[in-house]
Amino acid sequence: MTVASTAPSEAAQGRKQQGNKLEAVGKEMKGARIFIECLKAEGVDTIFGYPGGAVIDIYDELAKEESICHILVRHEQGAVHAADGFARASGGVGVCLVTSGPGATNTVTGIASAYMDSIPIVVFTGQVPTPLIGNDAFQEVDIVGITRPCTKHNYLVTRVEDLERVIREAFYIARSGRPGPVLVDLPKDVLNAIAKYKGLDSVKVRAYQPTYRPNVKQIRRVVELIKESERPLILAGGGVVLSGASGELRKLARRITAPVTTTLMGLGAYPGSDEKLWLGMLGMHGTYRANMSTGACDLMIAVGVRFDDRVTGKTDAFAKQAKIVHIDIDPTSIRKNVPVTIPVVGDCKRTLEALNRMLEEEGLQWDESEREEWLSQIQQWKATRPLAYDQKDIIKPQYVIEKLWELTRGEAIITTEVGQNQMWAAQYYHFNEPNCFITSGGLGAMGFGFPAAIGAQVARPDKLVVDIAGDGSIQMNIQEFATAVQYCLPVKVVILNNQYLGMVRQWQELFYDKCYSCTCMEHAPDFVKLAEAYGAVGLRATKPEEVVPVLEKGLSINKTVLMEFQVEPEEKVYPMVPAGAPITDMLLV
């Protein structure tokens, strides 16, 4: 059976393909060719896209370019989610290319998801020729206007002379500072016009200078707070994963013996295998001990988080006894939702490095005996086993995830759809490394997981990639089976089929008198036959004893595999904090 193997090298590094980069410098060429040269200069070897009239010139050039692999998705939304998954799994920038009008509007959900999760992607959209802009031309849409609030930045290129600079800026802005999606709109006449390719070797954007290095004075104040603290808690978020700070985070936690919780986006930043300090995820469906710890800690060191409402619950009641240190590269995240004692603006990795160094230089360290009271309190909370479930006659979704985790030794890259499936994945698959959990955290876009898995698999051919899906969500981008099969991507899809839009049904059960308005999904395709129709492998488990054999078989096949698990329809995700309640007020089953 094939299971995940550990990553040998930084895939992102290996992707730098210089090729015949220098040959093109100083030559006159069409805008469409400049586009290709810029991608090469950025080390891009894979893009996800879908053609159309406005970008046909680029596709013509792509056909002549061997160093760039174009993955033809089946819907533009899939291209953006795939670029997102690619970026997260590789640590690089994901790229996608679509046509004007409907091609462009189909990217919006993917862009918004990448924006909420701070994922570096560059989206290129075709546009009608500049003289037609504003005339309601065929397939014209103001995509720069539409995406302004959900991109880190966006551009409409109106002169071919600007094309090279703009593309290079787009990549620079996407990956630097707090990363995010950048969109570049390319009118057809610009792609056909001729200009000299300069081969720019550095990019500078006036007035854009992210603060990477933290202020030492602030670090000193953090150290003082750590000295005073008896019940410290570390809260890590997606920023730790994005900045590659999980090594420093582990160092800090162990040096000061502070328990660690993460947000959904931070899963993997701290090893799930650490029995002593790992608390599990925080939030609406967080663990009991993680949520309770936030109420009892006297110091919260929050790193790379933005205190989303799904994490804090009622903000007035959040971490009431704690002084909060908030480390983030984006100043707008700090003091947006919760009051903060010490703000530290800086890159998570550099800041934690500086903090660890200062603690080390001053010989400051706390061992378990010094934290006995705090740690034993946490052990007591842990004994309240709210994540326990009972596997009887009908398959429990939690059981499927737990077995998947065991069979893959926790080493797979997991993507998720949205809903109960996403929360069970977060609760029952225990991650030891960052960049292995890929989910639409901020936007919560159903249909994300499968194309994201495709992108992740392209970035990491060495890894086992599994999309944990719901029966509702998978149907939002199911067409991408054709993509996965065409490119021989051995992505695995685990569908937890509860015949419901389960998470919404759960809210209806708990808060709307079981009025299951429009959440029943009884009418669904035969998923196994559907997989087969696409040329993938389809497997099904209907009884608990079939779960492990189906997983073993599915994981061992080196092809695109869909595994459907017919699970308990009315199973709920617990623990749960009702929306708007204090995060320590948990419903425990």
Ligand X SMILES: Cc1ncc(C[n+]2csc(CCOP(=O)(O)OP(=O)(O)O)c2C)c(N)n1
The whole-angstrom separation of Cα 425 and Cα 304 is 22
Near ligand X by CB under 6 A, which window of 16-24, 116-124, 181-189, 442-450? 442-450
Q: Which of 445, 454, 466, 494 binds ligand X (CB under 6 A)?
A: 445
Residue 528 Cβ vs Mg ion, minimum distance, rounded to whole Å: 17
The residue at minimum Cβ distance from Mg ion is 470
Which option in Mg ion, ligand X, other proteins, none does residue 79 bind, with CB closer than 5 to 8 A by kind? Answer: none
| Sheet of strand 437-438, all strands in order from the earlier edge strand to the far edge | 437-438, 413-416, 465-470, 492-497, 561-566, 537-541
The whole-angstrom separation of Cα 79 and Cα 99 is 12
Q: Which of 129, 180, 178, 177 is nearest to 156 (CA)?
A: 129
Which option in Mg ion, other proteins, ligand X, none does residue 473 bind, with CB closer than 5 to 8 A by kind? Answer: ligand X
Residue 112 Cβ vs other proteins, minimum distance, rounded to whole Å: 12
43: left (phi over 0), alpha (psi -120 to 50) or beta: left
Q: Which of 324, 322, 352 is nearest to 252 (CA)?
A: 352
The full DSSP string for 75-94 is SHHHHHHHHHHHHHHHSS-E
Which option in other proteins, ligand X, Mg ion, none does residue 444 bind, with CB closer than 5 to 8 A by kind? Answer: ligand X
Q: Which of 185, 347, 471, 564 binds ligand X (CB under 6 A)?
A: 471
Binding mask 313-352 for other proteins (x = CB under 8 A): -----------------xxx--xx----------------
Residue 526 Cβ vs Mg ion, minimum distance, rounded to whole Å: 16
| 3-class DSSP string for 499-538 | CECHHHHHHHHHHCCCCCCCCECCCCCCHHHHHHHCCCEE
Residue 257 Cβ vs ligand X, minimum distance, rounded to whole Å: 37
Task: Report residue 207 CA to chain centroid gap.
Answer: 28
Task: Report residue 193 CA to chain centroid gap.
Answer: 37
The b-or-e profile of 145-156 (16+ CB within 10 A means b, else e) is ebbeebbbbbbb
Question: Which residue, 237 or 472, is less far from Mg ion as judged by CB?
Answer: 472
Q: Which of 551, 251, 209 is nearest to 399 (CA)?
A: 551
Catalytic residue among 116, 265, 284, 503: 503
The whole-angstrom separation of Cα 426 and Cα 530 is 27
Site for ligand X in 405-434 (CB under 6 A): 417-421
Question: Which residue, 68 or 146, is less far from ligand X as judged by CB?
Answer: 146
Residue 503 annotated as catalytic? yes
Near other proteins by CB under 8 A, which window of 97-105, 145-153, 312-320, 395-403? 145-153
The whole-angstrom separation of Cα 503 and Cα 97 is 33
Question: Which residue, 163 or 468, is less far from Mg ion as judged by CB?
Answer: 468
Question: Which residue, 320 or 335, is less far from other proteins as judged by CB?
Answer: 335
Which option in ligand X, other proteins, Mg ion, none does residue 118 bind, with CB closer than 5 to 8 A by kind? Answer: none
Backbone angles phi, psi at 511, to 5 degrees: -120, -5
DSSP state of 558: S
Three-state DSSP class for residue 580: coil
If binding is defined by CB under 8 A, does position 152 make contact with other proteins?
Answer: yes
The whole-angstrom separation of Cα 476 and Cα 421 is 15
Question: Which residue, 117 or 480, is less far from other proteins as judged by CB?
Answer: 117
Q: Which of 158, 77, 87, 72 is nearest to 122 (CA)?
A: 87
Q: Which of 26, 102, 134, 145 binds other proteins (CB under 8 A)?
A: 145
Which option in other proteins, Mg ion, ligand X, none does residue 206 bind, with CB closer than 5 to 8 A by kind? Answer: other proteins
Near other proteins by CB under 8 A, which window of 146-154, 317-325, 484-492, 556-564? 146-154
Q: Which of 66, 135, 202, 207 binds other proteins (CB under 8 A)?
A: 207
If binding is defined by CB under 8 A, does position 217 make contact with other proteins?
Answer: no
If binding is defined by CB under 6 A, does position 446 make contact with ligand X?
Answer: yes
Specify the length of the chain in residues.
589
If binding is defined by CB under 6 A, does position 114 make contact with ligand X?
Answer: no
Residue 139 annotated as catalytic? yes
Most distant CA atoms of the chain, gap in Å = 73
Structure tokens at 219: 């670090």
Beta bridge pairs of residue 30: 194
Binding mask 451-480 for Mg ion (x = CB under 5 A): -------------------xxx--------
Site for Mg ion in 497-526 (CB under 5 A): 498, 500, 502
Near other proteins by CB under 8 A, which window of 149-157, 194-202, 214-222, 348-356? 149-157
The whole-angstrom separation of Cα 279 and Cα 263 is 11
The whole-angstrom separation of Cα 411 and Cα 577 is 30
Residue 76 annotated as catalytic? yes
The whole-angstrom separation of Cα 447 and Cα 474 is 6
Catalytic residue among 13, 138, 380, 543: 138
The whole-angstrom separation of Cα 510 and Cα 579 is 12
Q: Which amino acid is at 526?
A: D
Residue 492 Cβ vs ligand X, minimum distance, rounded to whole Å: 17
Q: Which of 167, 207, 160 is nearest to 183 (CA)?
A: 167
DSSP state of 446: T
Q: Which amino acid is at 404?
A: L
Three-state DSSP class for residue 456: helix
Residue 499 Cβ vs ligand X, minimum distance, rounded to whole Å: 8
Site for ligand X in 482-521 (CB under 6 A): 496, 498, 500-504
Task: Report residue 239 CA to chain centroid gap.
Answer: 11
Near other proteins by CB under 8 A, which window of 140-148, 283-291, 448-456, 548-556? 140-148
Question: Which residue, 268 or 447, is less far from ligand X as judged by CB?
Answer: 447
Question: Which residue, 32 or 438, is less far from ligand X as judged by CB?
Answer: 438
If binding is defined by CB under 8 A, does position 134 make contact with other proteins?
Answer: no
Please work out the total of residues on this chain that contact Mg ion, with binding judged by CB under 5 A.
6
Binding site for Mg ion (CB under 5 A): 470-472, 498, 500, 502
Binding site for ligand X (CB under 6 A): 417-421, 444-447, 470-473, 496, 498, 500-504
Q: Which residues are catalytic?
A: 76, 138-139, 188, 503
Binding site for other proteins (CB under 8 A): 144-145, 148-149, 152-153, 156, 173, 205-208, 330-332, 335-336
